[in-house]
Structure 1
């Protein structure tokens, strides 16, 4: 298994927009082969700080996810909404930052 932790910081007041745009992404991702869990969380005191926490059966399954049109659409929509994004892929032996 591999885990993904994606930290997103939206521009001030844009956290709700990110959550709304993430809904179709989350629905589509949960139908993918290799998906185990895929959840989006917000910090209650910082509504523009969001974190995706994901679990995948393998790095190969994650690679397929990265190529999916629904993820590409989400990433394009986020271009003007995010101040910062950091994605960590956690393997048993290492952490990749992408």
Structure 2
């Protein structure tokens, strides 16, 4: 049985590259929100930091999230992000209790 899940994605960018992360997010946000099963897709800057972000995603099911990861816009975004990120994003998947 599929159940709703959320992803908390910790992102750290290189000094002076925050706008690259913001621009990439703004470019793909409408595409992600239009995907079947996407409930929420929000980028937040961590208070007091110019280089740290938290991406909050909510999906109707694991299948919807898996399909999201395989979309052309996410594959393209994943190919661009190493140029401005300190390290790969850290993803924590959580479910309601």
Assess same fold via TM > 0.5.
yes
3-state SS of 1:51 partner:
strand
Q: Secondary structure, in 3 states, of the residue corresponding to 1:4?
A: strand
1:36 aligns with 2:39: yes
Give the length in aligned residue pairs.
Answer: 93
Deviation at 1:32, TM superposition (A): 0.4
Runs of 4+ aligned residues of structure 1 deviating over 3 Å after TM superposition are none
- TM-score normalised by length of structure 2: 0.89
Q: Give the structure-1-normalised TM-score.
A: 0.88
What's the C-alpha RMSD, in Å, of the aligned pairs?
1.3
Structure 2 unaligned segments of length 5 or more: list them: none
Q: Could you tell me which of 72, 83, 93 is aligned with 1:89?
A: 93
Judging by fraction of residues, say which structure has more strand: 1
Q: 5+ residue gaps in structure 1?
A: 94-98
Deviation at 1:92, TM superposition (A): 4.2
Counterpart residue number, 1:21: 24
